[in-house]
Structure 1
């Protein structure tokens, strides 16, 4: 905690010395994010065994796989979310309400069109593809699976548009409030699955879980949009009159490279469940996700501290405050070292924690826990340098590297999982090896940028 406090004081001293309100806002948001994400983690850990008991191991593995597929499409806004966040923040800073409303209205219009086209494709896919084969489950579940997909896909298409309210909150320097919407959704989902399990409502049905999971998010986003656009954001609420199709280029230019990187990341991080289902069966998806949830705590806590540094690095780079950047990176590396120590302690206690959390429902092999710990250790290391690189806009190397890694991740994971007989452990090992490229190249690029020696692709 002392280290986090030190990091916050550095940001406050360097960037907030003449802006007390901004400093207090940053502090409140960090504390708010810590509290709310703590709630999210607690709820997700309580909900996991309830959902597992409600569905059973096989169907729960199928649900996790379907959730991974849905997550792929969550980034199909071609970078418009990132573009809106940056452009809207600029409009807020300039107090240009008309420009802000134009950006909001244009983004809602474009995203709505993308959402409609995506919904058509998703419905066609739900009705025509052989989903039992895709998720490696008996054909007897086909009717339930297709019904679940139709519901989840339809809800997702609407949420795809409504989630823009969260981006508006972040652009208005209110990330904790945006996080609160997610936390409320998590609590509602937990209450719903608890009631369904207690009263055995359509017990063992994917449809119930699909409605509760997607419906809770949709309801919260819809209510939040109505309240905020009727109150605080009334002057910038979307309107057809303010749609400017020329804004598309301006919005997309900011986020298109990040969009490509995001797609590559989706391929690398979200195909694991499908690979495991195909090679060893959907039941093995569950222990993989148990280990991932457990060791993911370290990443979540680390990212809460790291998130404010993206824009801080941008300001420091523009002002050529390289000494502050070096000192901040060093502080973050110390924090990373502390997180590694925490991960080792978690590894030592993992078997005991699994027994208390999941009981005898799932067995998590120790080697899988070791590999998952290593995965998050490398991922958080990379994020320290990626946030600096993203903040200064030098992402061309990251872009090319992400594309290459996305192409080789699946075959490498399949090789270890299937041909080397490592199962789910082989899948995460393949991802670890792909992350190793960034673990070496990102620090090199950081040093080149900060020392003024970056040339060519290192400086693009």
Structure 2
């Protein structure tokens, strides 16, 4: 039975259609499309909620079950390796993100052959990129001195860290083309299906984490039990695309028409590549900076504080993520009223929920940490305050970034990311060296984000960006 055709998906969709039937979105011919877009977004958000809940359960168990037997140093190493998923995401060269708008345009045109060509060429290109990245990364791991880089005290732990990194890199390179598959579903405005696949992966990770705890499994098994399950269950989506003949490999796939779209994909991918590089330099390398300056043990405190507020960033991404394909579809049709209304609602809801949730988590943090980590790790309150504030800033920034992606407005993002990276990296190093406490790496990200976002989006590019919603400035 197809993933989206069972009772548990159809019943909520019927309810959502009733809820949206009386809403005054759209005018004339666009009215039905607007309601249908919101139903798709709500369906994606509902499935994402299940996936996020399962993912949060995995995060909780990955700390409470593994920290006691791993110890602070090995746990910090695991968190550092896990952070590589964000740092290395740049290796897809931006092709996965570039697929979203092209797939949305092809779907809007109703040209099935064009849709199949774009999706298949994009995923096959990512297969080649993944294979090349794997060869380079495995060779680089063999040359690095992990014990010196991460300040590891034991040779046995160093060996375990190397093995875990090789396992992670293998999974990551397999995931590069699979990330393109997920983005195809975003462009089709069917983001709920990747969320369902992710939820299945989280579901199987839960008993595997319990077994790892029971048998004191080494770090490579923990990587397989968490990240490995997410990679494995994404294969369900490949089967879905093949069944619908959207992804179809044949000899003539590179000989047909549509090379103009392929060139556009490469240009857009280049922009996304630079954006990803900037974000990695600015924020995703935090564990490596902290580990190199303060030691691997401080990475554990940073990881626990960030994961405590992860429900905010994941939850807000759950609400705003499905809007990317909707924005792109409305942009292709020139339906600015939908874009304007959706942007206002998205930013207002995201900001309000993020601030409220962050305050509640911060107030309950002593009890949450006691239940979660016991007496195995102490997290300073200033670090918790910084992590809560960063979660709000990131949630608001992500909602606006989804809008910009749907409008194909990548140049303002590029400028903002360059400013963010130029400010945050030296600021983190200077403040960590001066004060010697881990919370300053988080405050540096907050300061740099505010400077970059306000300077570019509100100062330099305000008119250009708001032109997509026209009807005068947003109020």
* TM-score, normalised relative to structure 2: 0.83
1:39 aligns with 2:29: no
Partner of residue 304, structure 1? 318
Shift of 1:156: 1.9
The aligned runs of 1:186-197 (5 Å cut-off) are: 186-197=202-213
Match 1:162 to one of 170, 175, 178: 178
Shift of 1:211: 2.7
1:439–1:399 distance in 2 versus 1, CA, 3 Å: closer
1:211–1:32 distance in 2 versus 1, CA, 3 Å: closer
1:9–1:429 distance in 2 versus 1, CA, 3 Å: farther
Shift of 1:450: 6.6
| CA distance in 1: counterparts of 2:333 and 2:110, whole angstroms | 22
Partner of residue 234, structure 1? 245
Between 1:247-256 and 1:284-293, the stretch displaced more is: 247-256
| CA distance in 1: counterparts of 2:451 and 2:292, whole angstroms | 27
| CA distance in 2: counterparts of 1:84 and 1:228, whole angstroms | 17
| CA distance in 2: counterparts of 1:98 and 1:124, whole angstroms | 40
Partner of residue 159, structure 2? 143
Query: 2:64–2:372: 8 Å Cα contact kept in structure 1?
Result: yes
Match 1:125 to one of 128, 132, 140: 140
| CA distance in 2: counterparts of 1:397 and 1:415, whole angstroms | 28
1:130–1:184 distance in 2 versus 1, CA, 3 Å: same
Q: Cα RMSD over matched residues? A: 3.1
1:14 aligns with 2:29: no
1:405–1:253 distance in 2 versus 1, CA, 3 Å: same
Partner of residue 89, structure 1? 104
Shift of 1:110: 1.7
Shift of 1:320: 7.1
Per-residue CA deviations over 1:207-252 (Å, capped at 9, x if unaligned) read 2223323432332223542x32452x33532334313594542212
| CA distance in 2: counterparts of 1:132 and 1:11, whole angstroms | 60
| CA distance in 2: counterparts of 1:358 and 1:37, whole angstroms | 21
Partner of residue 211, structure 1? 224
| CA distance in 2: counterparts of 1:71 and 1:335, whole angstroms | 23
SS of equivalent residue, structure 2 residue 86: helix
Partner of residue 441, structure 2? 427
SS of equivalent residue, structure 2 residue 83: helix
1:386 aligns with 2:401: yes
1:54–1:168 distance in 2 versus 1, CA, 3 Å: farther
Shift of 1:282: 1.1
Mark the runs of 5 or more structure 2 residues left unpaired by the alignment: 1-15, 470-475
Query: 2:164–2:220: 8 Å Cα contact kept in structure 1?
Result: yes
Shift of 1:109: 2.6
| CA distance in 2: counterparts of 1:241 and 1:86, whole angstroms | 24
| CA distance in 1: counterparts of 2:304 and 2:63, whole angstroms | 9
1:47–1:131 distance in 2 versus 1, CA, 3 Å: same
Match 1:56 to one of 51, 65, 71: 71
The aligned runs of 1:5-404 (5 Å cut-off) are: 13-14=25-26, 17-19=31-33, 21-140=36-155, 141-198=157-214, 200=215, 203=216, 205-225=218-238, 227-231=239-243, 233-234=244-245, 236-244=247-255, 246=259, 248-313=262-327, 315=330, 319=334, 321=336, 325=340, 328-329=343-344, 332-333=347-348, 335-404=350-419
Query: 1:316–1:322: 8 Å Cα contact kept in structure 2?
Result: no
Between 1:206-215 and 1:124-133, the stretch displaced more is: 206-215
Per-residue CA deviations over 1:284-312 (Å, capped at 9, x if unaligned) read 11121111112222222223222344455
Shift of 1:54: 4.1
| CA distance in 2: counterparts of 1:320 and 1:447, whole angstroms | 20
Shift of 1:354: 1.0
Partner of residue 4, structure 2? none
| CA distance in 2: counterparts of 1:81 and 1:408, whole angstroms | 28
1:100–1:260 distance in 2 versus 1, CA, 3 Å: same
Q: How many residues align?
A: 444
Shift of 1:8: 7.3
Shift of 1:323: 9.7
Per-residue CA deviations over 1:409-429 (Å, capped at 9, x if unaligned) read 2221111112222x2111111
Query: 1:55–1:204: 8 Å Cα contact kept in structure 2?
Result: no
* TM-score, normalised relative to structure 1: 0.86
| CA distance in 1: counterparts of 2:382 and 2:149, whole angstroms | 27
